Amino acid sequence: MSFTARPPRENNQVIFGIRAVIEAIKAGKEIESLYIQRGVSGSLLLELKQILHQHGIVAQQVPVEKLNRITAKNHQGVIAIISPIIYQKIENIIPEIYEKGETPLVLVLDGITDVRNMGAIARTAECAGVHAIVVPAKGSAQINADAVKTSAGALYKIPVCRHDNFMQTMRFLQESGLQLVACTEKTKEFIYTPDYTLPTAIIMGSEEDGIRNEILRIADHLAKIPMFGEIESLNVSVSAGVIIYEAIRQRTPSTSEGATFE
């Protein structure tokens, strides 16, 4: 499985100062997080906010103490964290998968906020040949050095797609012929029921809140992992591995020599 060449990855770094952040955005840097000190004002900050609006970048208003914990230097009330990866758009990837004659297998992570879980899931997904990971622009774990390290570098290899309108993205997947399989305890159906040989998007939610209800309502299948012990749930990275490899089992021909799927 191969994709068109992607831009070279960036090193994870912190940029501070209003003008420096403005220039980083104009240069096309991938902003992972942007923090603005509460109460800061001025014409230069107004220019920054206009640029943020133009590029669809959301800033978090935070107390100065948070900024001071990130850097002791003169940040002028603004700090941006540059992503170590280049985010992509799932709208560009799905047609490419079909053009290659492959059956899409996409992983959607709704509200995974722990960077180590993010890294572990990405590692499993890349090993299994998942075509892409889709995450929301808000409420998702940062792709930082810890996430990359936990992924064993998988986050540099598997496309990660970050989208603002998450529900619109889910509908796009369905309109593109993918079934949405939501991994949730809110069902009697087990993960073995769906036919994963079809174009599929597997959806995982956070351990705290699970998958948002709007997605559960439009999902084609709700599927749960059977549990027989006293502990009620698995770690989300383990759960993702279980359901991903059920999809791989169904897609892999049963031969003594083994095979890979397309």
| Closest CA relative to residue 106, chosen from 178, 48, 14 | 178
| Closest CA relative to residue 31, chosen from 77, 82, 84 | 82
Classify residue 112 by its DSSP letter. -
Q: Tell me, what's the pLDDT at 254?
A: 74
Q: What percentage of the chain reaches a pLDDT higher than 90?
A: 68
Cα 68 from chain centroid (whole Å): 28
Claim: this prediction has a pTM higher than 0.95: no
If residue 181 lies in a helix (H) or strand (E), which one and from where to where? strand 179-183
How is residue 246 written in tokens? 């059920």
Q: Tell me, what's the pLDDT at 261?
A: 45
Q: Which fold has domain 90-251?
A: Alpha/beta knot (3.40.1280)
How many Å apart are CA 114 and CA 112, to the nearest integer? 6
Q: Tell me, what's the pLDDT at 1?
A: 46
How do residues 157-215 score in pLDDT, each as one tens digit?
999 999 989 999 999 999 999 999 999 999 999 999 999 999 999 999 988 889 999 99
CATH of 13-82, one of 1.10.1040.50, 3.40.50.300, 3.30.1330.30, 3.30.470.20: 3.30.1330.30
**Binning pLDDT at 50, 70 and 90, where does residue 217 land?**
very high
DSSP secondary structure of 51-103 = HHHHHTPPPEEE-HHHHHHH-SS--TTEEEEE-SS--B-HHHHHHHHHHTTPP
Asked if the model's pLDDT at residue 262 lies above 80, the reply is: no
Which position has the higher pLDDT, 232 or 22? 22
**Binning pLDDT at 50, 70 and 90, where does residue 41 land?**
confident
pLDDT (mean) for 34-50: 92
Which position has the higher pLDDT, 262 or 91? 91
How do residues 60-78 score in pLDDT, each as one tens digit?
899 999 999 988 889 999 9
- Residue ranges matching CATH 3.40.1280.10 in the chain: 90-251
**Binning pLDDT at 50, 70 and 90, where does residue 4 land?**
very low
Strand order of the β-sheet with 31-37 is 13-16, 78-82, 31-37, 60-62
Which position has the higher pLDDT, 98 or 13? 98
Strand order of the β-sheet with 105-110 is 160-163, 132-136, 105-110, 200-205, 179-183, 221-223
Instruction: Give the largest CA-CA distance in the chain.
Output: 69
Q: Tell me, what's the pLDDT at 33?
A: 87
DSSP secondary structure of 138-180 = SS-----HHHHHHTTTGGGTS-EEEES-HHHHHHHHHHTTPEE
How do residues 83-130 score in pLDDT, each as one tens digit?
888 899 999 999 999 999 999 999 999 999 999 999 999 999 999 999
DSSP reduced 3-state for 239: helix
How is residue 24 written in tokens? 């980083």
Asked if the model's pLDDT at residue 11 lies above 50, the reply is: no
CB atoms within 10 A of CB 174: 15
- Residue ranges matching CATH 3.30.1330.30 in the chain: 13-82
Classify residue 38 by its DSSP letter. T
Q: Tell me, what's the pLDDT at 181?
A: 98
